[in-house]
Amino acid sequence: MSNMQQYEEILQTGWSELPDEQYLPDGSFRFEVISAKVLPPRSEDQSAVAMFALEPKEAMSDVSDDAMAALGEEFDLSDHTIFHKIWLKKPSDWHRLQTLIEKCGVDPKKYATKEESLKACKRAQIVGYVVTKVFTDKATGAPRQQNEVQSFAQAA
C-alpha cells in the first residue's frame, strides 16, 4: 500500500479512532537528529529559534523496563519525534547551540557558516535525558503533557 493510499484511508476515519497519546518515560534515550535549523523571528519583538527534530531510537539503561513495557507491544519509539528548541536572544544562547552541535559529533568551527554546521548534524546520534512536562495550554486553559529533553550527552 502506498503512502498516499494510507493517507487517504486515515482521512476517512473519525477522530474517535485516534489512539490515546503516549509519552516516552523519563530517562535517557539515544536519538537520531532528523533536522536542525534556525527559524527566523516571526515579528520584531520575537527572536530566532534553533529547532532540532529528534527521533528516539533506543531507551538507555536508566529508563524503567516496566515503564517501557506499560506502553504496549505496538509502541514504536520512532513515532515520537521530539522537537528541541533553543531561543536565540543572547550570545549565551548561541554558545548553547554551539555546544549542542558539538555533542552531535560535529565540529562547528570547520564549517564556513552556522547553517552549514546545523545541516551537518542531520543523522547524528545523540543521547538526551527526557522528562514529561505538564503545562497549561494558553488557548484552552487545560493541562497538557509533552516530552522535553532536559540535557544532552554525546553518543558513545
- Report pLDDT digits (tens) over 82-102: 999 999 999 999 999 999 999
Q: How far is CA 142 from the centre of its chain?
A: 23
Q: Are 142 and 136 in contact (CB under 8 A)?
A: yes
Across the range 138-153, mean pLDDT stands at: 92
- Report pLDDT digits (tens) over 32-76: 999 999 999 988 889 999 999 999 999 999 999 999 999 999 899
Q: Give 8's pLDDT tier (boundaries 50, 70, 90).
A: confident
pLDDT at 3: 67
CA atoms within 13 A on the CB side of 64: 9
- Residue 138, pLDDT above cutoff 90: no
What percent of the chain shows pLDDT beyond 90? Answer: 76
Q: Give the sign of the dihedral formed by CA 47, CA 81, CA 69, CA 6.
A: positive
pLDDT at 2: 62
What is the assigned CATH class of domain 25-154? mainly beta
48 residue type, one letter: A
Q: Are 150 and 131 in contact (CB under 8 A)?
A: yes
pLDDT at 1: 52
Q: Give 139's pLDDT tier (boundaries 50, 70, 90).
A: confident
Across the range 8-35, mean pLDDT stands at: 91
pTM over 0.75: yes
Across the range 116-145, mean pLDDT stands at: 94
